[in-house]
Structure 1
């Protein structure tokens, strides 16, 4: 097997493990980051550069993404 390919697979596995650990420790920050990325994509994607479309996608993402991520993290967090 190619050593470069092996190295890239190891880096990908380590990044995945770090992302999972971050998601378990900081669910609110992850939710905020994902929402920001989706809104950034909605504003700066060339096909979505029209004002109405970008606002619609950003608004839907601002509502739906926190709910989806929040529900998955709610199961992992114990009540205080």
Structure 2
């Protein structure tokens, strides 16, 4: 079934690209996820602010854990004593 093989290949490539993007651009990924949740909340009014807020909290907490220390260091403020 070449169609399923092609769809599987596309899915795997998209997943790898998302992982690379999340590792290199964690702030942009968080902003994109937040915007997506806001658009969904606007498009589907049944999604309450509480649900959207919880999704945002989970995204903000889970992304640094999944992406590791390198992603955290990119979004954390630098220590002024390190610059001297």
Using the size of structure 2 for normalisation, the TM-score is: 0.66
| Residue of structure 2 in register with 1:11 after alignment | 10
Tell me if the contact between 2:23 and 2:70 (Cα under 8 Å) persists in the aligned partners: yes
| Residue of structure 1 in register with 2:81 after alignment | none
Residue 73 of structure 1: CA displacement?
Answer: 4.3
Instruction: For residues 29-63 of structure 1, give each alpha carbon's deviation from its aligned partner in whole angstroms, at most 9, with x where no partner exists.
Output: 000000111111112115x1xxxx63443444455
Structure 1 unmatched runs, 5+: none
Alignment of 1:31-50 (within 5 A): 31-46=30-45, 48=46
| Residue of structure 2 in register with 1:66 after alignment | 60
| Residue of structure 1 in register with 2:70 after alignment | 76
Tell me if the contact between 1:35 and 1:66 (Cα under 8 Å) persists in the aligned partners: no
Instruction: For residues 2-53 of structure 1, give each alpha carbon's deviation from its aligned partner in whole angstroms, at most 9, with x where no partner exists.
Output: 000000000100000100010011000000000111111112115x1xxxx6
In structure 2, distance between residues paired with 1:18 and 1:62: 22
